[in-house]
Structure formats: C-alpha cells, structure tokens
Structure 1
Amino acid sequence: MLVLVTGASSGFGEAMVRRFLQSGHRVIAAARREEKLHALQDAMGKLGESMLPVVLDVADKDSISAFFEGLPEEWRDIDVLINNAGLALGIAPAQLADLDDWETMIDTNNKGLVRMTRAMLPHFVGRKNGLIINIGSIAGSTAYPGANVYGATKAFVDQFTLNLRADLIGTGVRATNIAPGLCGGTEFSNVRFKGDAAKAAAVYQGTEPLTAEDIAETAYWIATLPSHINVNHIEMMPTCQGYGPLAIQRQAN
C-alpha cells in the first residue's frame, strides 16, 4: 500500500506515518517543515527507506501543483490519501477574532483539502480503487465558544466527505471523515494559542485525552478494511469528555 499523508511532520500526521511504515507500507510524508520530515525519516531507521519526505504547503495552490508534478514515477500510484494538514487559530469570540486567522484556517482546512482531493480523484476513479481519509473534528458537529470558523471548517470537511460518497458510488473509491475530540500530545493547542505553552497545557490538565497514536490506529484500521466497506464518519472522544447542556443567558428579575 502506498499512502500519502499531509501535515506529516508532527502530531497525527507523524503518528500515521510511523504506523503505516511499521506495518510494511510505503508512505509519502508531506509537510512544510522539511527538517522535521528528514528527522522523522532518520528516526525510523531501516523503515525510513520506505518513506518519501516531500515539502508541501496545502494552503498554497502552486505548492500542491509542484508537489504532484515532482513525484517520482515509482511514487505516483497512491492508494490512500490522508488529508491531515489543518489547524485551529485563536479562541476569541467571533466579534474579536483575527480575520487573518480565519482566512488561514479556511485556506488550510478547506481549500487545501479539496485541492488535494481533486488532484487525486481522477487517479482513484481511473483505477476503480482508492481511499480518502479526511481529518475532521467533533467541532464540526458540536459548537463551542471560540470555535467559530474552526468549527465551520470542520463542518465543511464532514459534509464534503459525505458528498464525495454521493458522487463516488460505483467507482470503488472510498471516503471517510475521522472526527476526534480532545486529543493531547500534539502541537494543536500550542498552534492555537500561538506558542503560549501555559495556555496549551491547561487544556489537558487533569485529563486523559486521546493521543495521536489513537488517531493513527483508527486511520490504519480504516485503510486496511476490505475494499467493499466504507466508514462514512467516525467520531472519537476520550472517556473524560462528553456532552453538556445548551447555554442559556437569563435576565435578572
């Protein structure tokens, strides 16, 4: 199996690269930070020979074009695309949020994902086989204060995946949305809080969150199911997380 993972230099992406390599598959590891990709390849030792590190910024249309044009011939017959690259920026209420942050999330979480998907679809449909795994979030279905555009981008991922399923009936091409809840051990919160380590750590204080390895294991399970099975949507939470009542603002009598 040849797997393409975006956002492969850390977090979910790095864990997925490791998981597939450890099970004997080849992986194209794509991310912006070339030095981290090479460090990952070195850390994998002999298994790193089955990994192709490639610089890619999914928020940059030209970078995506250059990525696919530059793939060596022996690395072009991709079986699985994992659209993992994504981010959250800020937790401010909508009226105070940074518009640049909103646009960055849309460019990465949505535009990058659809461009990567569109580039792969003719290949998958032509060979009547292929799998697209999109990394969503419970924020795509459950609103919370400060999620505003981040949650909206992940709702897009969920609906886009379902609409892919509608279009791809009979082609043999599968599409899945993995929607994790609270997940620690990644750069997610550090990026969201723009390097404020104390704020990032507070998100997970006193919890046992999901791990990047949990998400990687789920992606691997989906990718190794028989080809007639499609997992449309899978939502994951740690047992320390659940649902609460709707917020109600009451006026004083």
Structure 2
Amino acid sequence: MWRRAYPGRHDIWEIGQPRLDGLVRAGPDAVVRARRLYGVEPGQVTVLYSPTGREYPPQGRRGLLLDAEWLADELGPHVVVLQRHGDTYAPGSTARHPRVRDVSRHLVLEPLLLAADLLITDYSAVVCDYVLLDRPIVLHAPDWESFRRTTGVAVDLLADPPGVVVRDAAELLAVWRGGLLDGPEAAAARARLRRWCCPNEDGRAAERLVSRLFLAPELGAGQTPAS
C-alpha cells in the first residue's frame, strides 16, 4: 500500500513507529497521569470520540457526526467525553459542558489514547493506534458508502471490524446500555487487526531506527543489525 501511494526508489524499513513506543510500554502510572491531564476523576469512564475528516460537509447530513454534549448526557453522569475532530467542517468547541473536553487542538495523540476507556470513531487510522491498548472500539459508520466513494479508503475496516459497528446514534446507545461493547469476539477481532496493521509495535521501534541509521546504515531494506 505504501509503495502504491508513494512510489519511488526509497527503501522501506519495517521497524514499527517510534512514536508508539510509549503507548506500548505504558503502565498504570502513565494511564493515571493521562487521565489527570484531561481532568478525569477516579471512577469516571472516558470516551474518546475521534471521527475522521471528510471532503463534504457532515453537518448537512442528519446523524453524520455525534454531538459530544448529547453523548455525555446519554451515556450517564459518570462518563467524560474527549472530543477530537480533525475536520474543517467540525462543530465548534463544547467546552461549556462539564463532562466534555474539546481536544481537537491537541496534536499529540498518545495521552488521549491512554486516557480513553473506549474509542468511538468511524474510518479513522486512529484505530490502528488504539488497538494496541486492547480496549473496546465502536465504529460509528452512518455514511460508509458515501465516504468510500468520495474520499476512498486503503482498508475496508467494516469487512472485519475491530469492534462493534453502529449506523446511527440509536444503535450506539443500544450497544452501550446492553453491555455489548466488548467480549471474546471483539477481543479476537482486535488481535487480528494488531497482527495485520501493527505487527512490529513492541515498544522497541526507536531502538531499531537508531540502529539502522547510525550503527548499520549499510544494510539493505528488510535487514536489521545483529543483536
């Protein structure tokens, strides 16, 4: 896929992504610090809502984006919603709600992922980062056919989803209230996605990168220095 998208004579080093090392190696203390960073109290459940950008105005289509304030109210008083829109069409800040944090301007994603107990997204690549934490994922996909036709996708996440797929807000609430967010099938689906999209994420990608760049730059593509 990378060679098709970015053709050239460059080598591709399959070593993992150094930016994800901290996510893979994070322990309970890192999770506590991340939750404190966003004002999440002990005992609260944190939902990260992070839809992808679109090439058409989603506000003109009923139910395309979830309203973060509505989501916080419907999911209950113990839920904090972190709203992250990477879209010029996204609604404005919802910072007035006491349990909604607008984190759209937070460029570093890893603390947000660590703080979240649940990810709600659609077709965003954030899934391939969050799946490393092995926590529940919901794909809110009301416009799959339109998105695939207008924007295009490299991977059909809905063919083998790493979590529950819902088409509208009513289905999302039914899944939440029915306790259907997670289970053996969802865990197995997340494991399949990890094997496919992030097989090299073991927390040592930065180490391998430094080794290739400075200790063994003469190695060809696909080779790594001897330990």
TM-score range, shorter chain: 0.3 to 0.5
Q: Greater strand percent: which structure?
A: 1
Structure 1 length-normalised TM = 0.40
Q: Greater helix percent: which structure?
A: 1
Structure 2 length-normalised TM = 0.44
Bigger relative contact order, structure 1 or 2, given CA contacts below 8 A and separation 6+?
A: 2
